[in-house]
Structure 1
Amino acid sequence: MSKSPTLHREIVWRTKGHRGGPITRLMSPSDLGKVVKPFVFLDIFDTGNTNVNALQGMPIHPHSGVATVTVFTEGAMHYNDPNSGTGLIGYGGVEWMRSGHGIWHGKELFPADVERIQGFQLWLSLPEELELSQPESFYLEEDKISQTGPAKVIVGEYEGVKSPLPTPDDVNYLLVRLQPGERWTYQPPKGHSVGWMAIAKGNVASSDESIHSGEMIVFSQEETAIEIVADKNGEAIFVLGSAVPHPHDLHLGYYSVHTSQEALNKGEARIVELKKKLDEAGDRQTQTGNVPVFH
């Protein structure tokens, strides 16, 4: 007897991660990142009622082999970079950084005069042709990120709306805001069997299951539509990712993710070289308190 088709996308994993200060680690390359690669890392940062400057406690640190996508769901932060100018990133604004063969960063954003800052930092594992490429980083304010329905297209292309970010093909990453009781259906593009979401605000239901603020869930690997409805008592804000599965095993350094041990060795060697140059560069802090990305 043939199996009847699935009518909705099942939830196969859920987590609230591990919190440390204002940051909650929802996914790492050594755990869920293996399941939903090319998405390999996800933090939700939220200063709550504490000092927004708590986010400045992150030390400057290196990366190679990944792209990081930081999107804000509440509050705002300043950027000040010789290559990108100055500006303010608020709801739906994005910091994009492709580490390629190596960068150092961690203090390139400085809190604005706001009561709370919240958002997500995502890592994407880069394909072979980009994992040792020249690094790049820049900032996009909210008005540069196009929207279709309730979804801002942060990465990829959806319903004819394309992100301005130079991201790898076959990856979508959306920021979605639903009004109380609003229903939304996401039909993944062909081949996008990886699917997950994480909630910044409010509660939603999908596949007859409730999903709560601060939670990340992973859907079954198939291309069935994902149906989401916001709780009737309040709006919901969440990120959702879908992709063609990453075809390589993950080779992990402390801050690096590559497709092979050889590529990892090259990335980590470059990081060591950059650290020497970074030390020689001395104090690079700007007048607004930022420290630009170094590569």
Structure 2
Amino acid sequence: MNQVSLKEIAAVTATRRIIYRTRGTNHGSINRLMSPGDLGQILKPFVFLDLFDLDLHDPSMQFSIHPHSGIATITVLAEGDLRFDDPADGSGRIAFGGFEWMRAGGGVWHGKEMSAGASPRVKGFQLWIALGPELEHETVESQYVEAHRVPTIGPAHVVLGTYEGVRSPALSPNGITYLILRIQAGTRWTFVPPAQQTVAWLAVASGQLEGDTAATAGEMLVFEKSEQPFTVKACDDGDAVIVIGSAVPHPHELHLGRYSVHTSAESLVTGEANIERLRQLLSAAGDRRRPGGNVPVFRG
């Protein structure tokens, strides 16, 4: 049965149940919708989600350099733009539909690899994905993917994984799908999860959804575990920008550090030890700022 037929069936079958909704915890211009110690336990491999709305021209709103291990991070933009400048990846602009993908693996320090673009503010999501044992200590890899390089299917930009035969350029693990969509006012769109991806959620950056998946800007919905489709509909008075995540469940326990998520206590100790080793190397490296103010990801 093809995807089109599934979408037609979805309109007349039972609604996929929403088991939880949240507006997260507000931290000024950042709204934390999910952390590894709360919803991350239910939605793993998705373990962290921030919705940010920042003026990065203001030094007080800029991110500080910080470490990670055991995870991958994905930053997508719903409004505005950011600049990147990296010796390995070149320079360019990330705007709606574009993203930064970084696999922290065994350890990395980052936080200033992108800087303010032309827009006065920038809104978007940062997502963390817990990696499995085969990747949680792998070498760091990062990608900056401009919007024109992100494939689309209807209104959906395929940020991670493959959706309806369209594959993202991100070097992400198998079994994970992540989309960003602008749903036009008054229109509907049905998400059909890829096979075995029973974990699913959505979050709204702007606008409002109505109907079975009603939600407003800043809200996150968690769906029951199943492979059942669900439909989103933007209200008649404006477009809605949303992200949707689905995945095969992560089968490992989460062992948490301050900036790290690993699959065992031993693995966490190894990751955090490597972060400390990199901290010392980073300190010795001195000022690494690029001409535009960016500071490249430190891989050691």
- What range describes the TM-score normalised by the shorter chain of this pair? over 0.9
Q: How far apart are the structure 2 equivalents of 1:46 and 1:106?
A: 16
- Kept in 1, the 8 Å contact 2:56–2:62? The answer is no
Residue 38 of structure 1: aligned partner: 45
Quote how far apart the aligned CAs of 1:19 are.
1.5
CA distance in 1, matches of 2:51, 2:174: 25
State the match for 1:106 in structure 2.
Answer: 111
Q: Distance in 2 between matches of 1:253 and 1:113?
A: 36
The reply to whether residue 62 of structure 1 matches residue 86 of structure 2 is no
Matching residue within 225, 243, 254 for 2:258: 254
In structure 1, distance between residues paired with 2:56 and 2:245: 30
Structure 1: stretches of 5+ with no match in the other structure: 1-5
State the distance in 2 between where 1:123 and 1:55 align: 24
SS in 2 for 1:191: coil
Q: Distance in 1 between matches of 2:224 and 2:135?
A: 28
Instruction: Give the aligned residue type for 1:144.
Output: R
Q: 1:39 to 1:98 in 2, by over 3 A?
A: same
TM-score, length-normalised on structure 1? 0.95
- Of stretches 54-63 and 188-197 in structure 1, the one that deviates more from structure 2 is 54-63
Q: Secondary structure at the match of 2:51?
A: strand
Q: How many pairs were matched up?
A: 288
Q: Give 1:27 deviation, angstroms.
A: 0.4
> Which runs of structure 2 are paired with 1:205-244 in the superposition (5 Å)?
205-207=210-212, 209-244=213-248
1:272-287 equivalences under 5 Å are 272-287=276-291
TM-score by length of 2: 0.93
Q: CA RMSD in A?
A: 1.4
What secondary structure, in the 3-state scheme, does the structure 1 residue paired with 2:250 have?
coil
For 1:3, the equivalent position in structure 2 comes to none
* Equivalence for 2:28: 21
Letter in 1 for 2:16: R
Of the three residues 191, 199, 203, the one matched with 1:186 is: 191
Aligned structure 1 segments of 4 or more residues deviating by more than 6 angstroms: none
Once the two structures are TM-superposed, the CA of residue 57 in structure 1 deviates from its matched residue by 2.9
Letter in 1 for 2:203: A
The aligned residue for residue 10 of structure 2 is none
Q: Distance in 1 between matches of 2:243 and 2:224?
A: 17
- Structure 2 spans left out of the alignment, 5+ residues: 1-12
**Secondary structure at 2:132 match in 1:** coil
Change over 3 Å in CA distance of 1:149–1:219 after alignment to 2: same
Work out the CA distance in 2 between the residues paired with 1:226 and 1:206. 11
> How far does residue 127 in structure 1 lie from its aligned partner after superposition?
1.2
Distance in structure 2 (CA, Å) of the matches to 1:102 and 1:166: 17
**Residue 205 of structure 1, CA deviation:** 2.6
Cα distance 1:52–1:233, how it changes in 2: closer, same or farther (>3 A)? farther
Aligned residue type for 1:195: A
Which whole-Å CA distance do the structure 2 matches of 1:116 and 1:280 have between them? 34
